Structure 1
Amino acid sequence: MSAETLVDRFVTAVIAASDYTATDHIYLVNRVLNIVGEGHQQPAPDTDELIDLKDALVAVAVANGKVGDTQNERDAVGAELMNFITPAPSIVNRHFWDTYQHAPQEALADFFALSKRNDYIKTRAIAKNIAFTHPSEYGDIEITINLSKPEKDPKQIALAKKVKATGYPKCNLCMENEGYQGRVDHAARANHRIIRFKIDDHEWGFQYSPYAYFNEHCIYLDSVHEEMVINGTTFKNLLTIVQQFPGYFAGSNADLPIVGGSILSHEHYQGGRHTFAMEKAPLETRLVFADYEDVTAGIVKWPMSVIRLNGDDLDRVSALAAKILDVWRNYTDEAVGVRAETNGERHHTITPIARMRNGQYELDLVLRDNQTSPKYPDGIFHPHKEYQHIKKENIGLIEVMGLAILPPRLKDELAVVADYIQGKNVQVAAYHQQWADDIKARHTDVTAENAMAIVQDEVGAVFVKVLECAGVFKRDAVGQQAFMRFAQQVGLKE
């Protein structure tokens, strides 16, 4: 079957999935040939699925020398092909907001469906992730071994070093990514669309995450490229967003290294339609703050240090949150190793998560401290060394809420551990050895059928320990007394 027939089949699928008509067929064929080339012959896959046909056409483009064989170059061709079924940004926005006027949930569903259909959300890659849960005293903790993001290609890294930096777009979250062709050192975004919305007359963008970690994982991004910051405005913004986007939560990574997210250079939040274990966790200590009796408050039963606020008034909830942040920024308790700053470096911030619950505004404030020490050079309130064989990266927003994002190396490494605890003669990675020996000693009923389930449960137990490491006020009596001392500084009502 010729490349032209493959192109014809792709174009037919494009017409079926877009506003193009049969009259546009020849035009579309020629535009596709311009992208993939005319010389190479390749059989078309026996499918009418657009993404399969797109993948086959990318292979044609590589064979014809129209594009290099690095992942970013292939992705650029793929995104350009899927752009044929993606309406212009103005049309996408008009449809979203016209639908939103009478059916906000339908508007979200339509935009989500488009983002999957045009392969902006990498559903097939996401399906490769390994996911399981771990029952704990804090609820069912979720674990994901992230296999969706492609490994860095050595060829791509080498080529990227030769590319002269343009500074455009400034980062992967800038609005200038919408429709950007991509290059060897920057992701392809030809099929990317952003919904515009306003917070206090300032423009923001709403998009979905290409490599989603949970249902309808989305990003809310500032239209201006400015560094992330957590302040009183952050809390107002988050509460405004969850009021505008029904059924979605909105949260922000912290704004300091070690406890912050991977992108601190661009103000943005994350959200989606997912219920995390932390949201289900109950209040275990009620708090009533003076002058804020109308805002329900309490300490959440969670491995990290969380204060939850609920109220009917957005401004009142955000005002109390701002007061808690102000006190925390300057709070020191040497008895438990909590320090606001050392040598002029500030250590305290908050990871906030907003949602609507039973018609009220709800805000979880997770206290963060990014100190280091000779004993804990990676961070005192960071995964400690004995747990870094499972998780050594920052504990960001998603992990804070009870969903572990673990590195792809664990897929094969855990399989070896599962063999090892069955008594097979295998070589366990050195950094897993003590852990594997401990599992083997504690489990005498290991079989081929239950070995991996045992290992996965042990991974979940390690992640709970990681979250406890990140808690600034520990779960013991000393830590909880210290937590109450902090609450008193905020202004507990007598």
Structure 2
Amino acid sequence: MIDIYYEIRNLVDYAVRKGLIEEEDRIYATNAVLEVLGEDSYIKCEKESVDEPVEDILGRIRTWAVENNKVENDANEFLDLLDTRIMGVFIARPSVFRKEFNRHYKQSPKKATEFYYDFAKNANYIRQQRVAKDIRWTYDTPYGPLDMTINLSKPEKDPRAIALASRGVVEGQEKYPKCLLCKENEGYAGRIDHPARQNHRIVPLALNNEEWYMQYSPYVYYNEHCIVFKGSHDPMKITRETIQRLLDFVALFPHYMIGSNADLPIVGGSILTHDHFQGGNYDFAMGKAKEYDEITVQGSGIEMVKLHWPMSVIRLKSDSIEKLVEASGKIIRQWKDYSDENVKVRSHTGEEEHNTITPIVRFRDGQYEVDHILRNNRKDEDHPSGIFHSHEKYHHIKRENIGLIECLGLAVLPSRLRNEMSDLKEKLIVHDLEGIYADETLNKHGDFAKRILEENQSIDSTNALDILYQEIGKVFMNVLENCGVFKKDEDGEKAFQKCFEVMYECIKA
């Protein structure tokens, strides 16, 4: 039997302990939680509260809400709307929060982001217990170790919630907020098809003299995974101005890296309708990749190198933001029209453009770095999903767009793989290849499993899952190589060098 009054007391104690509210706010906060829960009385509990994760407290309140018909049903969507509304009780208004952020920033940018990240976790905007469920491992490659994750923190949609999602929707009416990235999400109560954000706060930034905002991702894929988005709902577009904004951000937060997804379908991210970046306090594998063919661009003071990486990357380095913006703008314009039919790189098909870049920016060893990951989204009969995209034989593991996080060497793999790999393991242990091909869910992994059995005759219950995860790592490495416009063979390296020299002359001009 859940004592809801004790749980409310426990939650208010948590909020005081984490600095979300002051002790003198206790009665006010208690009454506000009662209002959210539809209760009009309160019995003070003498039992001492327990210092425990907020998700444990909220979990019991969620159970009580279901048992007492405070929500429509026990679908995760309804319960998330409820517990976010509850946490909103303890969250300072944006003006107060931003003053506190700025107070920390005066001490140092790092102090400010540490405060902000802790706030996002304490407010349960980042649901840490869900994030902790993600499966993580590394895979060693000739390019360095890749970070692998099966993402389990983003809950799957409940069919009951999906059925109700269109309730009250007027045809032709513009959605509010327009998307998950819009500034209007701050404090929004949410609905079945849109998450509640009462515990969400954003930080205004001036990038390229424009209105931008920073927030953290609720599904953090790496340490301090932040999202930086434009104040207006404008589509993604990679231009010289993109580089200016990225460098302006790193100048504000030099301990963070930041990058942008590309702006074209197939090679772009999942949201192309709202210009945004992703960054954070994390050293990605690509950032540690070996540099080669370093050259200083005559008269500019810019160092230019290639990276030993599955994808084709040109890195520029300088202590001058202005020079890097100018040089990067030239590379973007040059690459937009660059073709090399010998390696299937074609810039346009009629009016349709195919070339773009995924830019990554960081500050390291006293210099700014801009990585230009060359992208092309052209398709042909052999590769209808994209010539420089995950090839069909790897779609059983990863068929989604390869965005900037994957480009950097962190695989974000679909949650379905957890159960599929668990079931596949059981059949591999008994060498039941026929059963794998006959299974409606597992048959897409058939050729993958066949190769594993051929190469691992001693596979058993003690090593099968490790072998599977290492093989998934190999697939991800191959996917990144698929996405590289210049391949890691003799012809590819020659073509890359030719492109590199063209870019050098372009910058020098």
With the shorter chain as reference, the TM-score category is: over 0.9
- Alignment-derived partner of residue 122 in structure 2: 117
Q: Residue in 1 aligned with 2:378?
A: 371
| Counterpart mapping for 1:305-320 below 5 A | 305-320=312-327
- The count of residues paired between Structure 1 and Structure 2 equals 492
2:195 pairs, out of 152, 164, 187, with 187
In the alignment, does 2:462 pair up with 1:474? no
- Cα RMSD after superposing both structures: 2.3
1:453 is aligned to 466
Give the aligned partner of residue 325 of structure 1: 332
2-side partners of 1:271 and 1:19: how far apart?
26
Q: Is the 8 A contact 1:226 1:267 kept in 2?
A: yes
> After alignment, is 322-331 or 11-20 more displaced?
11-20
Cα deviation, residue 332, structure 1: 1.2
**Residues 1:10 and 1:99: Cα distance change in structure 2 (over 3 Å):** closer
Q: CA deviation at 1:21?
A: 4.9
CA contact (8 A) 1:134 1:461 kept: yes
1:430 and 2:438 matched = no
Contact kept, 8 Å, 2:34 with 2:40, in 1: the verdict is: no
Residues 117 and 224 of structure 2 are in contact (CA less than 8 Å); yes or no, is this contact kept in structure 1? yes
The answer to whether the aligner puts 1:227 opposite 2:232 as a matched pair is no
Report the alpha carbon displacement of residue 418 of structure 1 after superposing the two structures with TM: 2.7
CA distance in 2, matches of 1:6, 1:275: 40
CA distance in 2, matches of 1:222, 1:403: 25
Question: Is contact 1:144–1:406 with CA below 8 Å preserved after alignment?
Answer: yes
Query: Which residue does 2:308 correspond to in 1?
Result: 301
- Contact 1:11/1:28 (CA < 8 Å) preserved in 2? yes
Which sits farther off after the overlay, 270-279 or 95-104? 95-104
Equivalent residue of 1:433, what SS? helix
- 2:38 match: 37
Q: After superposition, where does 1:79-94 map in structure 2 within 5 Å? A: 79-94=84-99
Residue 156 of structure 2 corresponds to 151
Give the letter aligned to residue 402 of structure 1.
Answer: G
* C-alpha spacing 1:363/1:19, structure 2 compared with 1 (3 Å): closer
Give the Cα–Cα distance (whole angstroms) in 2 for the partners of residues 289 and 408 of structure 1. 45
Give the alignment of 1:207-222 within 5 angstroms. 207-222=215-230
> Where in structure 1 are there 5+ consecutive unaligned residues?
none
Amino acid at match of 2:63: A
The runs of 4+ residues in structure 1 deviating greater than 6 Å are: 43-46
Report the 3-state secondary structure (helix = DSSP H, G, I; strand = E; otherwise coil) of the residue aligned with 1:149: coil
Indicate conservation of the 8 Å contact 1:197/1:203, yes or no. yes
- Aligned equivalents of 2:21 and 2:133: distance in 1? 33
Whether 2:145 is the aligned partner of 1:140: answer yes
Partner in structure 1 of residue 457 of structure 2: 444
* Rounded Cα–Cα distance in structure 1 between residues aligned with 2:41 and 2:11: 16
SS at match of 1:379: coil
Partner of 1:251: 259
Larger displacement relative to structure 2 (196-205 or 433-442): 196-205
Listed one character per residue, the Cα deviations across residues 295-330 of structure 1 (whole Å, up to 9, x for unaligned) are 101111001010011111111112111111111101
How far apart, in 1, do the equivalents of 2:133 and 2:319 lie?
Answer: 42
Gaps of 5+ in 2: 437-441
Please list the CA deviations of residues 221-244 of structure 1 after superposition, one character each: whole Å capped at 9, or x if unmatched: 111111111000111111111121
TM-score (norm 1): 0.94
**Separation in 1 of the partners of 2:215 and 2:475?**
33
C-alpha separation between the residues in 2 aligned to 1:252 and 1:120?
Answer: 23
Could you tell me how far apart the structure 1 residues matched to 2:429 and 2:41 are? Answer: 51
* Correspondences of 1:275-424 after superposition (within 5 Å): 275-292=283-300, 294-423=301-430
Q: Which residue of 2 aligns with 1:241?
A: 249
- Paired-residue identity, %: 41
